Every structure is written in C-alpha cells, then in structure tokens.
Structure 1
Amino acid sequence: MGNLISEETLHKLEADTSFQQLSQKMQTLNIFEVLGITNAEIRHSNFLAWLLDPNGNHGMGDKFLREFVSKLGQREVVPENVTVCIVRREWQHIDLLVLCQKEKYLLCVENKVFSEEHDNQLRRYRDMLLEEYPGYTMSFAFLSPDGIAPLSADDQQYWQPVSYVDILDAIESAKGGSALLPEVNMLLDHYTAAVRRHIVGDDNIKKLCQDFYDRHKEVLDTIYENCKTSLNPICEVAEDWCREKSEQGELIFSPQWSNNTYTRFTTETIRKLFPQHTKPISGWKTTDMAFYEIIKRENYFKITLSLCSDNLTDEQRAACDRVSQALNRPDRKEDWRWKRIRNWPRHTIESEPNSENYKEGIYRYLNTNWREIQKFENDLLNKTE
C-alpha cells in the first residue's frame, strides 16, 4: 500500500461499527470536559467534598460518605447520626476533612490525582489531627487513580489506599435506591464518564479501539506515522529524548511501542526485575511485561511504570509479587490486567510548541524524572536482591 490510502479504504473505516461507536462516545457532551476541569486535582476534591457532605443538595444523604468509608474496610466506624457533619477543604492544607464533632469522628482524605507525596505530609497531617481532635475515631484515606499505598511503611499503618475506581463504585452504590433529581443523575453520570476517560480508563473504549485497530492495522499505522507529530507536538520531543538516551545506552526504546498518547521505553533493570516473554504476547503485543510510559496530553505529560498481566508465567507473577512486596504495595485485586506501580508528578508545558524553549523545557523535565527513575531502580534492586 505504501503511504497512499484510497478513498474506498477511508469509507470502509468510517463504516466500521467499532469506529462509529467510538465516534459516538467521543462526541458525547460532558460538562466536565466543556469546563476543562477533568485534569484539575482541586476540582475533583471539590466534587468529592460535595458528595461526602450528608447535607449536600445531591439528595443521597450520608450514603456516599458511608460507601466511601467502606472502601477503607471501616464501614462500622461511621456514627449512626452524621447530620451535623461538616466538610472542610484545604484546612491546614488537608485536601478533604469530614468532621462529626458531636459524635467525635473524622475522615481525612489526601487526594493524589496528578501529584505525589512530599515533605512527610501524611505523617504531619495525622499528627496535627491527633493533637487538634483528641479522643476522636479517625479514618485516613490515601486516594489515587490506581489505589496505591503511601510510600512510607509508617504511613501505611494508618492511611488506607483508595482508587478512583472505588470512587465510581461508591457513587453507583450511593445512587441505588435514591430518588435523585434528573440534574443530579446527569451530573453523576458526567463525572463517572469523565473519570473513566481521563483518570482510570474506559475498558469499553479500549476494547473498541483494539478491535478497530486489529481489523485496520496497516492503514491506521500509515495514518499514525504521517500525522502523529501534528496531532500531539509532545510526541516528537518525547521520542527524540528516548532515542537519544537509547543511543547512549541508558534505556531501551523502539518507536513501534508508542502512539499519540503513550511514549514507552524500558531499561535493562526493568527487564531484570520483570522477565520478558519469549514471544510478543503481552497486552502491548511485545515481549515486555513492563514499560515506563510517558503519558502525553496537549499541555502536560507524566511518567508512570506500568505492568500488564496478559499471559504471565509463574516466574513472572512471582516477580510481580516480589516487587510489590519491596514497594510495600500489595495487590488489592487478584484479577488485575493493567497496573501502574509507580507514578511521577505531571509536568505542565507552558511554552508554545513553536517557541524556542519548548523542546528545552520538556527535556529538562524528562531529565529530572530520569534521575529519579535511576534512583528508584537502584533502590528497588537493593530491596529485591
């Protein structure tokens, strides 16, 4: 076919049922996307504060509060009467604080959607609350997209990990049996769709994409190779950085592992920690079961370390367990397929793509993350050997 795509081929793409379903999903109006707040951590905390307030005008009473706390394995600690609870935002820099002063109960939530822990904040928050509210029964939730545990073993004793999938489950459970106003139902549905699309991933969309790609791989690869730079200007810069590091022998990179959203690379250390398949049978259709992924958006990017459980051998599963134990992050689900075991903070791109310092700024952030990745790998090797 070369680089020529016939008009007939393009019509076949448009007529594909997976393409039509994808188009319908992607064009569906979403109020959170319209307002541009899907990637704003503070807006997610504001929305959760509204849901956690038993007196909020959502009409669910204390149902969401109880469902949320149940995700911590502590449903029974919530007082029977929480009608006089108040919800505070950013009190002493704490993201969310639910206070039931009469019943002497509090829920503290640290929300990490697009950032990571810093300055021993979890320990400081807990110490502060113990001093400020002596005699209270307390619940501490560490909320993140994937439900990862805090970094410190000490914090893990008190802060229970919660994922955004848990949030969506809690919303669904809280809605059950409630006669909610149409506008409330609409808002909850829009929020659920936005979280699936921008934070935790939509399995249905992923399946439609994979089905569509499998049927039209050759033509889609041709379109991608000719358009990816213009679709997302960070793509070219991220791939250039990976290519340079690969030529210097610092990491392992191949452009075929990447797309407009993800630029993927791995290292010798990661391949040592997570043995490769003998054939390209991972979820990425490669021999690697683990990749660093540079997740790219129009004005920001972040790096994660992700695993795929497709076709794992007993040796590979043992490697996953060994690393999870070293990181003090046990699996919360036995049937996981994709898992991010480490997230680095996102970097906002303030320069315009055609400006002189656009590439320089991205390289600076990537090099900072690379130094952190090297330290992370050395520490992980020491803990697993």
Structure 2
Amino acid sequence: MPIFDIKETCVSNDNDRALLESFVVNNPDLERLEALLAEFNIFEAIGAVRQELRHSDFLAFLLDPSANHRLGDAFLKRLLKHVLIGISEPPLSAVEIDAADLEDAEVRREWQNIDILIHDPANRLVCVIENKVVSGEHSDQLRRYRRTVEQHYADLRRIFIYLTPEGNPPSDQNYFSLSYGEVAEILEAVRRSHESTLGNDVRILLRHYVTMLRRHIVADSEIIELCRKLYRQHKPALDLIYEHRPDLQSDLQELVEDLVNDAPELELDHSTKSEIRFLPRTWDQYGVLLSGEGWTPSGRILLFGFVNRADHLALHLYIGPGPQVIREAILETCQRHDSVLNGTRGSVNKKWKTIHKRPFLTTSDYEDPDFDSLTDKISSRWERFLESELPQINQIVGEVPWDELSRQLAGEEEDQR
C-alpha cells in the first residue's frame, strides 16, 4: 500500500489553492488591513512596540511639563482629570487639577523601581504609574510601591495608576485601572487641541505613537477587528498560512548556511534547522576522519555545528562517534591548546564531545528581535571566526598524528581479517 495517494494529494493541493485564492482575491477587508499596516511607523521601525521600558520612557517624556514637546502640562492635566473622574473617593477633584498650574511638576523614571513617578510639591500631589505592556504583576509590586510612596510622601495627596493594554484590574484596590486605549484617546485629544502650537515633528511623533498603540496594543482597534473578521471568514486559509509560516530559526538556518557556502574553504555537512554542520575542506585529507559511524551520512568524526535554538545560537566544534583511538588522539592534541579551545577538559567517553563553543546570539537577542540587527551581529562574529579562530583551529587539527593513526587503524583491520 502506498504511503500516500497521488490523487488525494492533488485534490488536497487544489483545495488549498482554492482556499488561498478566496482569501487574497477581491477581499476588501484584507486590502483595508494591508493599507492600515503599510504606513511607516517610527515606533515599529525601532522595535519599541512591546518594550515596556520604551513605552514608559516616552510617556514620561510627554507627561513632563518641562520637556521640549511644547505641550506643557496639557497631557499631564488631561490624564489626571480622566483618572480622578473615575475614582469614587478621589484625593482631589478634577476641577482642582484643571485650575492648577502643574508646570513645575517633576517626572521621575524608576525611582524606587516605580515606572513613572510624578511629584508636584506646589500642589501637594504625587502620582504613581505602574506600566505593564507584556508582563504582569509580580512580588506584590503594587502594594510595595504604594507603601513606599506613602512613607516618603505622607503629607501629599496620592494618586496610583495601573496602566495595561486592556485596563486589567490591579491586585491593590488603591490603584486606578487605566488602559492604553484610554491613553490613545487622551493623546489624540491633546494633539487635536494643540494642533496650531505643536511643531510638525512632535505632531507626527504623537500620531505615530497613537497609531502604533491602535495597531498592536489596544484591543478594540479597527486593525484587531479586521483581523478577527478575516479569521472568522477565512480560518482554513489562515491556518494553512500559519502552518507554513517562516520562523526565526528557519531564517537563521538559511543565513548561516549562506555564510558557510560563501566561504570557499568550508563545506556544509548534513544539517537540520536546529543544527547546521560544516568543516574546512582540508580536513578531508585526513582519511581516518571519515571513519565515523552513527552520526552524519558523510561519516566525518570532527565537525563544526551551529546549534540553532529558539533562544540562542552558538557555534560548537564536536568530536563525534567513531573509532575511540582517533577520538582520544584528537582530544589529547586539542588539550595542549586550551587557550584556543575552551571545552577540552574531560574525556571522550560519551558519543559526542564539544571541545569548543562560541556564542553568536544569546537569549537577550531574541527579545523582540530585529532580523537585520541579528544578521549584522552574526556576520560580524562570523568574520572574526574566519579571520582569527579558524586558522588556529586548523593548525591544531594539523598537529594530530594522522599518519600514525592511519597505520594503527590499518593494522587493526588486518588483524581482524
């Protein structure tokens, strides 16, 4: 019985094609979504969409009356009034804020680990904003921050705000829950009311920030509604696209393979998405290195391999499975050069032995990754490897007593016959 039926496969392919065609042809919702997403956005370009620190930095800048955005205390006032109206027993009224001069308010970042702290002694006011874009509360944060502020500013009127994408309820009921949708509306209102006095650069910056919030953060935006509608109407096609989507690991595999192929002195060995193996072509002159078993189809014992995981990329040099006498001779030679090779301690009793390891990307590089910057980092480290490390490693490999090993293996084979 065949593994698969050709007719069934053709029908499946035809069905898949029909699903995709119905999704992309004459689809006004898709065209509208593409138009909304096609507009350039500076915050998307710099990778700030999901970075809480960048959001807190920008909001602190806009809230600071002394910053050079020409808004004065307009955003600060409108935000505080919006919050105070929603508090059942506010420490002061929205009318008081409207009449107050907040131009001397001081805005601090990360004071006592608090995301944003606004301090205005003239109006006997202090405000805490705890910002959560992706992460959630931890370690009883809200209560600890509130107690810190109550101790330091016991004689001031205090406002506590918990800012999240959807206005999630805070664990401490002393905080007012504020959503990014509300922030977007407040900023849009401030931009419209100051249209004539704002510089073009600040006006564009505000528009870009509000647009970015509505594209990616705000739950009830037009973009999100379009996405939901498209998914409901074209679920099979979108599931098919998702199943065959490119992922970062695949992109990095392709990048690394291209780097190896572009180096004429190197040759790719058998590779997968999670491990890209290669070697210098000159190593094949040592015939006994091709006597491996149980690893790659080439039978090579000594190989470089890029370990390509979801959260790191590292270059390893392996001694793979093969005749133990060869593996031990390689390790013994390499152990004399532990200033070059950083993994030569121990023995080769296990099937694989990593005798050198060089990180190319670490976990922090995968936090909101930009592929162009990852490419630059990998390419730079690859150049250093080719120019510095590889020549030294080639020299070390050349010191292994290959001729002696070849004669020894030949003698063992003769004895077996």
Q: TM-score range by the shorter chain?
A: 0.5 to 0.7
* Displacement of 1:44: 0.4
Counterpart check, 1:28 vs 2:28: no
Query: Within 5 A, what are the aligned runs for 1:4-15?
Result: 4=14, 10=21, 13-15=24-26
Partner of 2:321: none
Correspondent of 1:69 among 80, 86, 96: 80
Specify which structure has the bigger relative contact order, considering alpha-carbon pairs within 8 angstroms and separated by 6 or more residues: 1
- Contact 2:165–2:219 (CA under 8 A) maintained in structure 1: no
SS class of match (2:129): strand
SS class of match (2:30): helix
SS class of match (2:83): coil
- Contact 2:65–2:73 (CA under 8 A) maintained in structure 1: yes
User: Whole-Å Cα distance in 2 between the matches of residues 59 and 139 of structure 1?
Assistant: 25
Q: Residues 135, 209 of structure 1: CA spacing in aligned structure 2 closer, same or farther, 3 A cutoff?
A: closer
User: Whole-Å Cα distance in 1 between the matches of residues 169 and 19 of structure 2?
Assistant: 51
Superposed CA offset, 1:189-213 (max 9, x none): 1111211222224632234334545
User: Whole-Å Cα distance in 2 between the matches of residues 8 and 113 of structure 1?
Assistant: 35
Question: Which amino acid counterpart does residue 50 of structure 2 have in structure 1?
Answer: N
Counterpart check, 1:138 vs 2:149: no
User: Whole-Å Cα distance in 2 between the matches of residues 208 and 134 of structure 1?
Assistant: 48
TM-score normalised by L of structure 2: 0.50
Partner of 1:57: 68
Correspondent of 2:221 among 186, 194, 203: 203
Q: Residues 222, 35 of structure 1: CA spacing in aligned structure 2 closer, same or farther, 3 A cutoff?
A: closer
Counterpart check, 1:3 vs 2:13: yes
Correspondent of 1:161 among 159, 162, 177: 177
- Contact 1:64–1:174 (CA under 8 A) maintained in structure 2: yes
Query: Within 5 A, what are the aligned runs for 1:160-199?
Result: 160-178=176-194, 179=196, 180-199=198-217
Q: Residues 88, 206 of structure 1: CA spacing in aligned structure 2 closer, same or farther, 3 A cutoff?
A: closer
- Contact 1:67–1:173 (CA under 8 A) maintained in structure 2: no
Q: Residues 98, 3 of structure 1: CA spacing in aligned structure 2 closer, same or farther, 3 A cutoff?
A: same
Gaps in structure 2 of 5+ consecutive residues: 1-10, 86-93, 251-309, 317-362, 364-417
Q: Residues 219, 89 of structure 1: CA spacing in aligned structure 2 closer, same or farther, 3 A cutoff?
A: closer
Q: Residues 11, 161 of structure 1: CA spacing in aligned structure 2 closer, same or farther, 3 A cutoff?
A: closer
- Contact 1:109–1:143 (CA under 8 A) maintained in structure 2: yes
Question: Which amino acid counterpart does residue 140 of structure 1 have in structure 2?
Answer: F
Question: Which amino acid counterpart does residue 142 of structure 2 have in structure 1?
Answer: L
Partner of 1:106: 126
- Contact 1:90–1:96 (CA under 8 A) maintained in structure 2: yes
User: Whole-Å Cα distance in 2 between the matches of residues 27 and 211 of structure 1?
Assistant: 19
- Contact 1:142–1:159 (CA under 8 A) maintained in structure 2: yes
- Contact 2:62–2:69 (CA under 8 A) maintained in structure 1: yes
* Displacement of 1:49: 0.4
User: Whole-Å Cα distance in 2 between the matches of residues 167 and 8 of structure 1?
Assistant: 39
- Contact 1:98–1:106 (CA under 8 A) maintained in structure 2: yes
User: Whole-Å Cα distance in 1 between the matches of residues 188 and 44 of structure 2?
Assistant: 21
Corresponding pairs, count: 236
> Which of structures 1 and 2 has the bigger CA Rg?
2
For structure 1, which segment, 39-48 or 201-210, has the greater mean C-alpha deviation from structure 2 after superposition? 201-210
Partner of 2:112: 92
Superposed CA offset, 1:287-340 (max 9, x none): xxxxxxxxxxxxxxxxxxxxxxxxxxxxxxxxxxxxxxxxxxxxxxxxxxxxxx
- Contact 1:71–1:162 (CA under 8 A) maintained in structure 2: no
SS class of match (2:123): coil
Question: Which amino acid counterpart does residue 227 of structure 2 have in structure 1?
Answer: C
* Displacement of 1:184: 1.2
- Contact 1:38–1:194 (CA under 8 A) maintained in structure 2: yes
* Displacement of 1:221: 4.4
SS class of match (1:116): coil
Question: Which amino acid counterpart does residue 53 of structure 1 have in structure 2?
Answer: D
Partner of 2:298: none
- Contact 1:32–1:194 (CA under 8 A) maintained in structure 2: yes
User: Whole-Å Cα distance in 1 between the matches of residues 200 and 25 of structure 2?
Assistant: 34
User: Whole-Å Cα distance in 1 between the matches of residues 25 and 123 of structure 2?
Assistant: 60
Q: Residues 12, 58 of structure 1: CA spacing in aligned structure 2 closer, same or farther, 3 A cutoff?
A: same
SS class of match (1:106): strand
CA RMSD of aligned residues (A): 3.1
User: Whole-Å Cα distance in 2 between the matches of residues 118 and 7 of structure 1?
Assistant: 48
Query: Within 5 A, what are the aligned runs for 1:240-319?
Result: none
Q: Residues 71, 350 of structure 1: CA spacing in aligned structure 2 closer, same or farther, 3 A cutoff?
A: farther
User: Whole-Å Cα distance in 1 between the matches of residues 156 and 201 of structure 2?
Assistant: 36
* Displacement of 1:14: 4.4
- Contact 2:65–2:105 (CA under 8 A) maintained in structure 1: yes
